[in-house]
Structure 1
Amino acid sequence: MKRIAGILLVSVLSLGILAGCGGAKQSAGKAEQVTLKVGASVTPHAEILKSIQEAAAAEGIKLEIVEFTDYVQPNIALAEGDLDANYFQHLPYLTNFAEERKLDLVSVGPVHLEPLGFYSSKLSSIDQLADGATVSIPDDPTNAGRALKLLADQGLITLKEGVGVKATPNDIVDNPKKLDIEMLQAEYLPRSLEDVDAAVINTNYYLDAAKNLGVKANVLARESAEDNPFANIVAVRKGDENRPEIQKLMSLLRSEAVAKFINETYDGAVIPAF
């Protein structure tokens, strides 16, 4: 009986050891899953990221999405190490922001393009824009230049030759309709529609306002997508470009599944850029 009891005791101990190894393996398995904290604008960036969360988990990445409503904090948070990456901006904006603030942030590639829209809640066509009409545009340097170029492409103003998307209001050489051009922070432009005749609005802010604030407006014109350098990118701290989890994130974001999601969700207001 003592011999049988001893065998049973050894068996129980063995099972305990095996169970302990199994638990350690499971814990190790959990430890192998990497948390990737990505800052994003609410629409469409966070929505696109949410569409790949399940696929990311299958790749061993817990994708944590931190939503922002402005164009400043996502880069500050990334530079300070509070984020692993962000996804909300185009390369010219990142380059300008990083140079001004002396931040080591770089792009790891484009995902989608949001052509700027010229919107109005009062008018249905550009022809209805009266002399002296008030038009609001973004106040940050890169998007202000894009907005002015869009107005110039529609024949509403003339800019100094060669300034292109680097234009400022000081570069307007002809304004035949004497438009009153007001510059506002990009996030406030959708709300300005009630107070102006028309506004050039970043697509993400318009989509978010339409979805959450019930803003409705007609698209009078849209920025051309052809040879457009303003595709929205994923940014990281310099040196993190080749982290395996960042590369996996980019593969997922630049997949056929994401292209399909973008095309089916945003009806041309957002365009895949890969």
Structure 2
Amino acid sequence: MSILTLVLAGALAACGAKNDANNQGSAGESGSEPEKQQEVTLKIGASPVPHAEILKEAQKLLEGEGVKLEIIEMNDYVQPNVQLYEKQLDANFFQHTAYLEEFNKERSYDLVKVTGVHIEPIGVYSKTVTSIDELKEGAKIAIPNDPTNGGRALTLLAKHGLIKLKEGVDVDATIADIEQNDKKLQFVELEAATLPRALDEVDAAAINTNYALTVGLVPNDDALIIEDKDTPFADMLVNILVARPDNKDSEAIQKLAKALNSPEIKAFMEEKYDGAVVPTF
């Protein structure tokens, strides 16, 4: 065989091998398992109980969906929104609709609701009395110092006859809206997260369910009085997943929203919290 023939044969063989490799690559793309979806990590700010617990349950549903949750537990009602707005977080889960609207208004923010998940009733607790009627004249009552939850506490007390509020106020009520206080109750406004610890220093305290649960209080058993489903502004009290306008419609955020509204999460809340955390979907 001539040298020219050998060179041509080698070139043809190399070309054939290259074509075979290309064909195998094409066959592998269509015939083998699809490539694993690139994972997206969402940083979520959340209250430890029940929000972070619910998110951890949702993470199980997101396995294989390409979404991983980095849950950052926060104990206040300000930083989760500030850090979300500043893009240190991708979303947060700790607040209800009324609080978000008030926060946006005060800060000129544009954070948005993605989906509603549950309601947490606010209740009045005490270590000194076992009935709301036992509160004596001049009793000291601690309430949340943020606008919407403070209004909820006052509305609850008014509903049970301890005070009377001005006509037309509800979730936006403040101490200045009290027009009748026959027992001369004294109100102390504190950051919501500190209210469980304040129980040793006051006669009663209106505590959000998430903070009540963290200290072992059982709302439906331990609260002297508690919000019920007939609260006129209940729709404003739904706890929501919150994001920014620029990412609220992203695939990862929408997958998380779907997981939080799933039958599995509903069953988890009903079993774990025994009515203290009520699904709204």
TM-score exceeds 0.5:
yes
In the other structure, the counterpart of 1:244 is 251
1:219 deviates by: 0.8
**C-alpha separation between the residues in 2 aligned to 1:245 and 1:230?**
25
1:20-72 deviation digits (Å, cap 9, x = unpaired): x99xx99x636x11111111000000000001112112211111111101000
1:239 deviates by: 3.1
Matches within 5 A, 1:111-260: 111-210=117-216, 218-226=222-230, 227=232, 228=234, 229-260=236-267
Using the TM superposition, name which of 117-126 and 153-162 deviates more: 117-126
**C-alpha separation between the residues in 2 aligned to 1:104 and 1:179?**
38
Using the TM superposition, name which of 143-152 and 227-236 deviates more: 227-236
SS of match in other structure, 1:166: coil
Q: Is the 8 A contact 1:160 1:171 kept in 2?
A: yes
Equivalent AA in structure 1 for residue 94 of structure 2: F
Q: What is the RMSD computed on CA atoms of the aligned residues?
A: 2.6
1:133-188 deviation digits (Å, cap 9, x = unpaired): 11000001111111100110010000001111211101100001111111000010
Equivalent AA in structure 1 for residue 229 of structure 2: A
SS of match in other structure, 2:266: helix
**C-alpha separation between the residues in 2 aligned to 1:52 and 1:90?**
19
1:205 deviates by: 0.8
In the other structure, the counterpart of 2:71 is 65
In the other structure, the counterpart of 1:3 is none
Q: Is the 8 A contact 1:123 1:218 kept in 2?
A: no
**C-alpha separation between the residues in 2 aligned to 1:268 and 1:130?**
30
**C-alpha separation between the residues in 2 aligned to 1:218 and 1:33?**
43
Q: Is the 8 A contact 1:105 1:238 kept in 2?
A: yes
Equivalent AA in structure 2 for residue 245 of structure 1: A
Of the three residues 259, 265, 268, the one matched with 2:272 is 265
1:222 deviates by: 0.5
Mapped pair 1:84 → 2:90:
yes
**C-alpha separation between the residues in 2 aligned to 1:225 and 1:42?**
24
**C-alpha separation between the residues in 2 aligned to 1:104 and 1:261?**
31
In the other structure, the counterpart of 1:96 is 102
SS of match in other structure, 1:191: helix
In the other structure, the counterpart of 2:10 is none
1:67-93 deviation digits (Å, cap 9, x = unpaired): 101000000110111111100001111
SS of match in other structure, 1:51: helix
Q: Is the 8 A contact 1:57 1:63 kept in 2?
A: no
SS of match in other structure, 1:234: strand
1:131 deviates by: 1.1
Number of matched pairs? 257
Equivalent AA in structure 2 for residue 218 of structure 1: D
Q: Is the 8 A contact 1:90 1:233 kept in 2?
A: yes
